[in-house]
């Protein structure tokens, strides 16, 4: 390693080759050139006869840097840079390097503090921008001498003005060497005025359940204050929580015991050493407990009677009671619902301030048992599941609740819990086999306090079944109202439906008006006497089997009576008939049910005697039937 211009360079550093030379902004030699951001450089080759000249304006020691023929470049960031010249003279390569130092000209940030008595204090930011300068010049603009802050000095200056009003202060930061003189002059208009520290007053104290306490006040710029705390009858001590902000200020004190009374005040100290204490504001401790059907609230008495204006009790943010006596310290809230959480808070109003207690959550409780559910309905859904709806009871209800559903195979005994719901009055029983039997249900209501009602009257599903010649259904009520009547719903494959009212009857004889209709779906609907409730049964299929009739004998003699052997019947679409002689030979076949055998074989009358037949039919639902028999041909 060897030392290059202003930095450590490697043995492969192109600056080491030498032989080149150039000026920067007309300056020759090897000394670094210093300028302010933005710093423009113009380079000029100083080697006679050199050619193929290129430059690198931020050379970092690369073996193969990116070159440019441009002879002008602008640096927009502060820092130390090397300019590399690369070229040739004759058959020899030449290089040269020079250092450029680009300085920041940003004006340092400064904060202004004004104090009573016309004192103004300037505090410059202790950051890299300020520290890069050699000196800060201050012109107070009041006939006093210019003052200086040199590198390494404290970054503060204090000056006293006479009189009041706006003063214009100027300052700038400078470098003591180089072509960059430093920042521009900056003006600071400062309002010089006497400040009354006793204007700082606490306006709000806000206690919180976690033990923290917030307070609000109007701060004065440049006036540092600390929150002082007194617990119970103790002495005030500093909390360590400080502020010097202006305008509306909110501070928070942590880890105070929320079960104790704390008094707060502000001790303010300005830059001139003046100390003033603010008004005192104390916390109020609120307690709450739940009894059956009521919440009990109590709170501590405010310690400063001369400043007391009144208490306000809030519930969920709304005022429910105002108290004007300082010794009114309790309240009974009877307007509560079991299981509901209520948020209470006491707001104490004093002279020009307000103190809010930490909120208290009280969950109301009750020993009152809900009344039994008086209205419920059960129905069978299209998918076979059971749907129940229970209406809340008349008393003992809460916004949060449970419903408990019990099931039995009969309305009088054997009820067992099958499910519960949370905050809903609907339940679906997916385990019920409604195509096999009726189910009865009872419902109980449990409020948020855990109080459970007696079971409701049972409600039972309607179970519909096919007895063969007619349909029948169960008659236990499906709702808590009396049954007003039953309706038989007839559904065909096309989805159309018709209803037939049957009154209080529990059976029905299906009548097939259309001989081509072989089967239907049936369902029962019941309606309550008051017309408010409907309940449906399971759906069953009621069908008539295909019917086929064939004669035992026929006489193909042309007299018009039994001249052909052919079947008759209903409810079949597909037909095939084969007739065999006694030796098993087929003598006749047809797929047309309207075409019978005329008793001939290949146009010749067949001999008299018995013949065997086989008939295959497929009914309207796709079911296949086969009929074998013997028919006697008579001549």
Question: Do 157 and 210 reside in the same domain of the chain?
Answer: no
Per-residue pLDDT of 600-628, as tens digits, reads 998 899 999 999 999 988 876 778 888 89
Which of 163, 192, 221 is at the close of a domain?
A: 192
Which of 363, 388, 414 is at the close of a domain?
A: 363
Instruction: Give Cβ neighbours of residue 48 (< 8 Å, ≥ 6 apart).
Output: none
Quickly list DSSP for 188-223.
EEEEE----GGG--EEEEEE-TTS-EEEEEEE-TT-
Q: Residue range 388-417: average pLDDT? A: 93
Residue 163, sorted as left (phi over 0), alpha (psi -120 to 50) or beta, turns out to be left
Q: Residue range 59-67: average pLDDT? A: 94
> Which CATH number belongs to the domain containing residue 186 in this structure?
2.60.40
Burial 390-405 (b: 16+ CB within 10 A, else e): bebbeebbbeebbbbb
Any idea what DSSP says for residue 539? -
pLDDT more than 70, % of the chain: 94
Question: Do 202 and 185 reside in the same domain of the chain?
Answer: no
Question: Do 528 and 415 reside in the same domain of the chain?
Answer: yes
In this structure, are residues 239 and 253 in contact, taking their beta carbons and an 8 Å threshold? Answer: yes
Per-residue pLDDT of 522-552, as tens digits, reads 999 999 998 889 999 999 987 766 677 889 9
Which of 103, 122, 140 is at the close of a domain?
A: 103
Per-residue pLDDT of 425-480, as tens digits, reads 999 999 999 999 999 999 999 998 999 999 999 999 999 999 877 899 999 999 99
Measured distance CA(371)–CA(192) in Å, rounded: 77
Question: Do 96 and 118 reside in the same domain of the chain?
Answer: no
pLDDT more than 90, % of the chain: 72
Give the range of the structural domain holding residue 76, as residue numbers without chain letter.
2-103
Per-residue pLDDT of 218-227, as tens digits, reads 988 767 889 9
Question: Do 146 and 249 reside in the same domain of the chain?
Answer: no
Residue 507 has which token pair?
Answer: 């059976």
Per-residue pLDDT of 185-208, as tens digits, reads 999 999 987 666 777 899 999 999
User: Where is pLDDT greater, at 11 or 108?
Assistant: 108
Measured distance CA(257)–CA(310) in Å, rounded: 24
* Cis peptide bond upstream of 38, omega within 30: yes
Question: Do 295 and 226 reside in the same domain of the chain?
Answer: no
Q: Residue range 260-265: average pLDDT? A: 96
Q: Residue range 146-175: average pLDDT? A: 92
pLDDT-derived band of residue 235, with 50, 70 and 90 as boundaries? Answer: very high
Question: Do 375 and 422 reside in the same domain of the chain?
Answer: yes
Question: Do 405 and 387 reside in the same domain of the chain?
Answer: yes
> Which CATH number belongs to the domain containing residue 264 in this structure?
2.60.40.10
Question: Do 386 and 407 reside in the same domain of the chain?
Answer: yes
Question: Do 10 and 50 reside in the same domain of the chain?
Answer: yes
In this structure, are residues 289 and 281 in contact, taking their beta carbons and an 8 Å threshold? Answer: no
Question: Do 457 and 571 reside in the same domain of the chain?
Answer: no
> Which CATH number belongs to the domain containing residue 571 in this structure?
2.60.40.1220
Question: Do 310 and 344 reside in the same domain of the chain?
Answer: yes
**pLDDT computed for residue 332 by the predictor:** 98
Q: Please state the domain count of the chain.
A: 6
Helix (H) or strand (E) holding 225: strand 224-231
């Amino acid at each position: 390693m060897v030392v290059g211009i202003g930095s450590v360079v490697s043995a492969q550093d192109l600056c080491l080759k030498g032989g080149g030379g150039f000026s920067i902004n007309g300056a020759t030699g090897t000394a670094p050139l210093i300028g302010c951001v933005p710093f423009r450089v113009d380079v000029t080759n100083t080697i006679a006869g050199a050619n193929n000249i290129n430059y690198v304006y931020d050379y970092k020691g690369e073996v193969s840097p990116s070159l440019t023929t441009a002879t002008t470049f602008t640096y927009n960031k502060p820092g130390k840079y090397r300019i590399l010249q690369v070229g040739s003279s004759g058959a020899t390569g030449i290089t040269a390097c020079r250092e450029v130092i680009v300085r920041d000209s940003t004006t340092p940030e400064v904060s202004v503090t004004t104090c009573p008595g016309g004192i103004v204090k300037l505090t410059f930011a202790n950051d890299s921008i300020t520290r890069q300068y050699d000196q800060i010049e201050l012109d107070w603009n009041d006939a006093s001498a210019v003052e200086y802050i040199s590198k390494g000095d404290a970054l503060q200056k204090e000056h006293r003005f006479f009189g009041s009003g706006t003063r214009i202060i100027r300052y700038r930061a400078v470098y003591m060497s180089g072509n960059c003189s430093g920042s521009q002059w900056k003006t600071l208009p400062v309002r010089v005025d006497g400040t009354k520290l006793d204007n700082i007053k606490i306006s709000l104290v806000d206690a919180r359940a976690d033990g923290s306490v917030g307070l609000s006040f109007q701060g004065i710029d440049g006036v540092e204050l600390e929150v002082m705390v007194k617990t119970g009858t103790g002495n005030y001590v500093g909390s360590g929580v400080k502020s010097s902000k202006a305008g509306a200020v909110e501070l928070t004190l942590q880890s105070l015991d929320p079960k104790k009374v704390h008094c707060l005040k502000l001790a303010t100290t300005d830059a001139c050493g003046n100390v003033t204490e603010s008004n005192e504001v104390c916390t109020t401790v609120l307690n709450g407990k739940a009894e059956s059907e009521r919440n009990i609230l109590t709170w501590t008495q405010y310690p400063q009677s001369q400043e007391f204006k009144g208490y306000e009790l809030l519930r969920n943010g709304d005022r429910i009671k105002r108290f004007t006596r300082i010794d009114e310290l309790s309240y009974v809230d009877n307007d509560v619902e079991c299981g509901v959480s209520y948020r209470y808070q006491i707001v104490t109003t004093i002279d020009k301030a307000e103190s809010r207690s930490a909120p208290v959550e009280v969950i109301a409780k009750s020993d009152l048992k809900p009344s039994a559910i008086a209205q419920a309905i059960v129905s069978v859904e299209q998918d076979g599941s059971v749907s129940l709806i229970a209406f809340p009871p008349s008393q003992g209800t809460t916004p949060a609740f449970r419903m408990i559903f019990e099931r039995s195979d009969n309305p009088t005994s054997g009820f067992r819990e099958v499910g519960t719901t949370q905050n809903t009055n609907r339940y679906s029983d997916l385990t019920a086999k409604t195509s096999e039997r009726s189910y009865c249900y009872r419902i109980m209501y449990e409020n948020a306090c855990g109080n459970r009602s007696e079971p409701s009257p049972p409600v039972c599903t309607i179970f519909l079944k096919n007895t063969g010649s007619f349909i029948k259904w169960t008659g236990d009520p499906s709702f808590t109202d009396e049954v007003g009547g039953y309706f038989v719903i007839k559904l065909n494959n096309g989805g159309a439906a018709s209803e037939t009212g049957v009154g209080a009857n529990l059976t029905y004889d299906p009548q097939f008006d259309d001989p081509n209709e072989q089967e239907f779906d049936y369902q029962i609907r019941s309606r309550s006497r008051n017309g408010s409730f409907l309940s449906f049964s399971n759906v069953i299929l009621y069908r008539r089997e295909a019917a086929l009739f064939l004669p035992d004998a026929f006489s193909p003699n042309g007299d018009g009576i039994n001249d052909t052997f052919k079947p008759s019947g209903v409810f079949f679409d597909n037909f095939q008939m084969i007739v065999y002689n006694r030796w098993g030979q087929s003598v006749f076949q047809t797929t047309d049910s309207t075409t019978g055998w005329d008793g001939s074989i290949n146009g010749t009358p067949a001999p008299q005697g018995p013949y065997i037949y086989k008939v295959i039919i497929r009914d309207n639902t796709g079911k296949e039937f086969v009929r074998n028999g013997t028919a006697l041909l008579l001549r």
